[in-house]
Amino acid sequence: MKTSFAICLYAISLLVLHAGTINIAEYHKSTKEKTPPVTIVNPNFDDGEKGWKMGGGSRVENGAGTVASRGLVYERTNPKQYHVLGGQRINVIPGKTYNFSAMVRGEDIKDVNNPRIGRGASFCVELVGPDGKWMRGGAQPKGVRGTADWTRIEINNLKIPEHATGATISFYLDRNMVGKAWFDDVTATPTESSWTVYPANAPMSQARPGQKIDLVFSNGGKTIMHEAAPGKLYAYAEWNGHAMQAPIVGDRTELQLPKDLSGKGVLKIKILDAANKVILEENEFPLNIGKPDASAPSYCHFNARNQAIVDGGKFLPVGVFCNAGKKSELELLKGLGFNTLMIYNAPSMGFSKKPRSYERAAEVFDFCEENGLKIVFSIKNMYPNAGRNAITSLYGDDTPEKIVRSIVTNFKDRPSLLAWYTCDELPNQMIPELTERRRLLNQLDPNHPAWVLCALGYTTESLRVYGPASDAIGSDAYPIRGGHSIASMIPKLEEGVRTGLPHWFTFQMFNMRRYFPKAADAADFRFPTAQEFRSMILLGAGYGVNGYFFYVSTPLFQSDPKKDGDIEANLKTVREGIAMLNALKPYLLSDHAPQAVPLNVLKGEVKAWKLTDDQGKSKIIIVALGPGEAEAKIKADLKNCRSEYGLTALENGKWTFKAKNVDSDILSN
């Protein structure tokens, strides 16, 4: 991928040679005014009913939201009832265009007279006239019907009439319909949203002298390449008075830093339409140039392949989301093969009966250093706008920033520290706060990355919009419910690749029934099978995941047969899957990227990659995404191979993979 990007960049850079050095004095700023953002009070119901006018018996419940947070719930059994379930007046500007969206989930929603008609469970945007009353216009998109998982319902490009004075966002279950509906995560965004630009290869805001800075651009996560004539979109940058320029190709460019540049500074970026001499956008971010301090007591950086460099060597995080309150639980996790703990209760963790404090939390660092474990320290809720889970005072510090400063001061030099966890599926409205948090961390601790985990498809449609807030980026995928497919993981894995950042991905290690016990099909939910667990890991390997994290440890300690199934079987599944992952480390940490293997797929959906270690040894990983039967012939000349899981065999001189539902195999030579 980087090779093809470099070839395209070289081809178009020939235009720069003919165009000569850009004279920025000839350029003028775009006269296009930016529409201010829309304020929605309590858009994800974390603060209960605050900001919303409720009606019709609707209610806000804990655990009813997209990520087991709070959400709006409504159930109707009488089709003659019809109410607005929750509404809020918002300020919009007449003549401007907006996009609106909300997440909606449904259970057995239908029209009693004709199940095929009706808008179902949805939301609407209605317009307010000069007299303060409803006026014609607005939009009522079709929502969900029947039983459906969380779905993002959208209204795109709604232009507010010049004579409107405002608008309302409201939820509803259409007339004559019955069933149960859940609503969450409302957004309202001007269509000319701000552009995003970030360096994909300057973790902790640091670069080396002479390095090429790989910049990634997007507009609300979408391409910017239509903003100028082909070949006429450029990046112009200044760092401490030194100017650089480069063409933008496929939403990316490379800026060459001179070898003699060093020190602290701010990289100021102008995005140019060279054909019309217009400055389309301006942005900036801190960039410190120099060699990082690899001799620091605790150190994690990234190489050119986005692999973590820890204690002087390559490191593959194999982590688990957990709390740290019992040594026995952490010993079990180590025994299962995990080398990293993503600790949710990090500020209050500890083993002793001492009062909660940083001194008590240090007990867990001591344990991890004695046992060769790394810690990802969670500071995910330390924002004033983080809803009901916000932590705004702790141990004498009375603001989130003071808390973070104290935590970093106490733990940044602990050898077991790997990273800071700064976002747990927070909505994209909080990206400015997340970005400032990352910059603060980079300033206080340039030796550990800020890891942002986004609810892709819930709070955002693109990971790139979180790029400015991230040293390492991630999302999660939990495809195992009652069916047999992991295909839904692929868009999230692909989106991680598009960011260009280190990609630490979170895999399913729980039964969905734990969080949705009342779902109509909850009885069919289950813990992943050994084949599914293994296949999800291998799918991540094919897409070049740089860090493997598993959610969550709770079912391994607090087993509930109704929620988790057979605990011993689950432990065996995890132990074997993590052992396989650890055995692949020489291939996943090599200098060679995964290579897609051509297949002749006869049944189902199958993907395969070649993994190569630094000694030239290779393995072929093959994954059937499910459901149903899968069969594929490998279009490669493979000799002296053996199938590790018995699903691939020689047939008429060709290696043929056969599987049912989600399954996988590894060919080793």
**Is CATH 3.20.20.80 the right assignment for the domain spanning 300-588?**
yes
Is the pLDDT confidence value at 17 over 70?
no
Encoded tokens for 248: 């933008």
Encoded tokens for 598: 């051509």
Domain ranges of the chain: 2-33+194-289, 53-190, 300-588, 595-668
C-alpha to C-alpha distance for 386 and 301, rounded to whole angstroms? 28
Through-space distance between the first and last CA atoms of the chain, rounded to whole angstroms: 26
Model pLDDT, residue 16: 39
Q: What contacts 24+ positions apart, CB below 8 Å, involve 488-495?
A: 489/536, 489/539, 489/540, 490/539, 490/543, 490/625, 491/456, 491/457, 492/456, 492/457, 493/539, 493/540, 493/543, 493/545, 494/543, 495/456, 495/462, 495/463, 495/464
Q: Can you name the residues that pair with 90 across neighbouring β-strands?
A: 167
Confidence of residue 83 (pLDDT cuts 50, 70, 90): confident
Query: Which tens digits make up the pLDDT trace of 94-140?
Result: 888 888 999 999 999 998 877 666 789 999 999 998 888 888 778 88
Average pLDDT of the residues in 486-494: 96
Is the pLDDT confidence value at 15 over 50?
no
Radius of gyration of the chain (CA): 26
Inter-residue contact 502 to 548 (CB < 8 Å): no
**AA identity, residue 358:** Y
Model pLDDT, residue 459: 66
Q: What percent of the chain has pLDDT over 90?
A: 72
Averaged pLDDT of the chain: 91
Model pLDDT, residue 427: 73
Is the pLDDT confidence value at 12 over 60?
no
C-alpha to C-alpha distance for 531 and 523, rounded to whole angstroms? 21
Name the pairing type of β-strands 177-190 and 71-76. antiparallel
Inter-residue contact 90 to 166 (CB < 8 Å): yes
Model pLDDT, residue 10: 41
Average pLDDT of the residues in 475-480: 95
Residues 6+ apart with CB under 8 A from 615: none
With CA atoms as reference, report the closest residue to 588 among 335, 389, 317, 183. Answer: 317
Model pLDDT, residue 4: 45
Query: Which tens digits make up the pLDDT trace of 441-459?
Result: 999 999 999 999 997 876 6
Encoded tokens for 652: 């008429």
Q: How far is CA 405 from CA 41, 399, 663, in A?
A: 29, 10, 46
With CA atoms as reference, report the closest residue to 103 among 158, 156, 44. Answer: 44
**Is CATH 2.40.50 the right assignment for the domain spanning 595-668?**
no
Dihedral of alpha carbons 486, 488, 491, 493, sign: negative
Model pLDDT, residue 20: 62
Architecture (CATH level 2) of domain 2-33+194-289? Sandwich (2.60)
Model pLDDT, residue 33: 74
**AA identity, residue 118:** G
Confidence of residue 479 (pLDDT cuts 50, 70, 90): very high
**The 3-state secondary structure of 41-52, one letter per residue:** CCCCCCCCCCCC
Average pLDDT of the residues in 547-551: 98
Burial tier of 249 (Cβ tally within 10 Å: 0-12, 13-18, 19+): buried
Is 595-668 in the same CATH topology as 2-33+194-289? Answer: yes
Model pLDDT, residue 291: 84
Q: How far is CA 28 from CA 235, 279, 282, in A?
A: 15, 6, 12
Model pLDDT, residue 388: 66
Inter-residue contact 263 to 240 (CB < 8 Å): yes
The winner for highest mean pLDDT among 518-532, 551-565, 614-628 is 614-628
**AA identity, residue 89:** R
Give the pTM: 0.84
Model pLDDT, residue 313: 94
Query: Which tens digits make up the pLDDT trace of 407-419?
Result: 999 999 999 999 9
Where do runs of H (alpha helix) occur along 412-456?
Answer: 431-444
DSSP H or E stretch at residue 387 = none
Is the pLDDT confidence value at 639 over 90?
no
Model pLDDT, residue 256: 96
C-alpha to C-alpha distance for 94 and 7, rounded to whole angstroms? 46
Encoded tokens for 142: 């079709």
CATH top-level class for 53-190? mainly beta
Query: Which tens digits make up the pLDDT trace of 383-403?
Result: 887 766 789 899 999 999 999
Query: Which tens digits make up the pLDDT trace of 302-358?
Result: 999 999 999 889 999 999 999 999 999 999 999 999 999 999 999 999 999 999 999
**AA identity, residue 386:** A
Inter-residue contact 184 to 45 (CB < 8 Å): yes
Q: How far is CA 17 from CA 188, 247, 250, 269, 371, in A?
A: 43, 11, 19, 20, 56
What is the per-residue DSSP string for 195-251? EEEEETT-GGGEE-TTPEEEEEEEETTB--GGGSSTT-EEEEEEETTEEEEEE-BTT
C-alpha to C-alpha distance for 257 and 272, rounded to whole angstroms? 20
Encoded tokens for 236: 């112009």
For residue 2, count other CB atoms closer than 10 A to its CB: 12
